[in-house]
Amino acid sequence: MSFLRRQKSLPDTKNTKNMNLEKSLELYTKGKKHLVGAVNSPVRAFKSVGGIPIFIDRAKESKIYDVDGNEYIDLVLSYGPMILGHRNKKVEKTIKKYLKKGYTFGASTKGEIILAKMVCEAFPGMDKVRFVNSGTEAVLSAIRLARAFTGNNKIIKFSGCYHGHSDALLVAAGSGLATLSLPGSKGVPDDAVKNTLIAEYNNIDSVKQHISKHNNIAAVIIEPIAGNMGVVKPTNDFIQELQKITKENGILLIMDEVMTGFRSKFGGAQELLGIEADITCLGKVIGGGFPVGAYGARNEIMEMVSPLGEMYQAGTLSGNPIAMACGIATLKELRNQNPYKKFEKRAKRLEKILLDAAKENGVDLQVNRFGSMINPFFTKEKVVDFKTAQTSDTENFKIFFWKMIEHGVFLPPSQFEAWFLSTELSKKDLSKIEEAVNIAMRKVASVR
């Protein structure tokens, strides 16, 4: 009997191949003693799909390997940063070189200047950037900066968009909260969110209503392509009107490109959408796998930041030399490869694989994609916002998820997380994914 069949919390796994996860179970059991849920990020707990988390041992190129030796094609890619696949030779060579010089100094290094120039040149309208340690830190700093620059306090965010776990933004946040069916978080006081206004993605009237009622709005923050309720694209009318009304009302537009940065082009989604943010937040790819975040804007805004201005933000490990080196090497290689046409071709094929398998098996499915981000929704409704994303059949996703895992494809353990493609994803990998999708979709159909 396979390990999966012996786990009462997992979905029915009849007619599956044997799969050994004994060492993952052992580590999960040990981990519970000193780690919260044996994990350090909630989605890793696999709670929404049942069962125990899979513990990873190593990775190489397009593959990831768990502690039991199972091999998977990786479509998680650490939720985005491993755009070149795992252990890219040029990036790894750079990291080894800089490791010999030291790990952290609490002082400035040349690498910060080099990476800053690369990032600013990739984003029109960005004159200066400040590096931090995570996307969450980038966003909370951007919000503080917007308030400092405008003198106003309220912000507008969109239901289903996730901008990290800072108090003011941990409301209607999609992703992990949607995965765990939580409306918000304990420990966030009412006062922390009293200045946060919630609008509906792709509904410009919901934004206009807030603007008509409040004259002290500092900023509107949005994922230009939502990735934390699943991949959801804005309509052209919505995103263009959003920029127009923010400018007309003296409100700063903050684009959270932590997920989308460098994934659809060398730069961000803004240029493809024909818009330009006042403040842009970045992360993931610009660290190449090391913890990095950043926020940047035109000079008049960024000069509000200490030491030039009165908006204080600091971090001992910000601009860490190893992270900067990894980011520089990643962006250089990405610019040299220019893989974006290849990403479009691969994503288009994956979309067809998913839709064809669903149609053949009579399973309701929508597929949304943008650049090298894609994900299926188990629903018959077109997914345009958080409300329609939540019509997805999460039970179907659970079954699909475990069948994909059993057949060697590593997916995010949540219906509401984007899948990511890397430059190392090969035609052979896609053929294996197609085989797994067909098996998984048949299983979904058989238990409905």
| Residue 70: φ, ψ to 5° | -70, 135
Return d(Cα 205, Cα 200) in angstroms, integer.
9
CB 46 within 8 A of CB 434: no
Q: In the 8-state DSSP scheme, what is residue 430?
A: H
Catalytic residue among 284, 398, 403, 443: 284
Catalytic residue among 256, 278, 385, 429: 256
Amino acid at 259: M
Return d(Cα 106, Cα 388) in angstroms, integer.
46
Beta bridge partners of 279: 254, 297
CB 131 within 8 A of CB 294: yes
Return d(Cα 167, Cα 187) in angstroms, integer.
9
Return d(Cα 389, Cα 233) in angstroms, integer.
12
Helical (H) or strand (E) element with 58: strand 56-60
The CA-based diameter of the chain, rounded to the nearest angstrom, is 65
Return d(Cα 197, Cα 156) in angstroms, integer.
5
Which three-class secondary structure state does DSSP give residue 141?
helix
Active site residue 162: yes
For residue 307, say if its preceding peptide bond is cis, omega within 30 degrees of 0: yes
CB 199 within 8 A of CB 171: no
Taking the alpha carbons at both ends of the chain, their separation in whole angstroms is 24
3 contacts: CB under 8 Å, gap ≥ 6: 18, 19, 20, 21, 22, 25
Rg (C-alpha) for the chain, rounded Å, is 22
Q: Quote the tokens at residue 387.
A: 């409300």
Helical (H) or strand (E) element with 131: strand 128-132
CA 295 to chain centroid, in Å, comes to: 16
Q: Quote the tokens at residue 232.
A: 């959801």
Catalytic residue among 162, 201, 233, 398: 162
Between the CA of residue 371 and those of 69, 267, 419, 428, what are the distances in Å? Answer: 31, 12, 11, 20
Q: Nearest to residue 183, comparing CAs of 174, 192, 191?
A: 174
Q: What residues act catalytically? A: 162, 256, 284
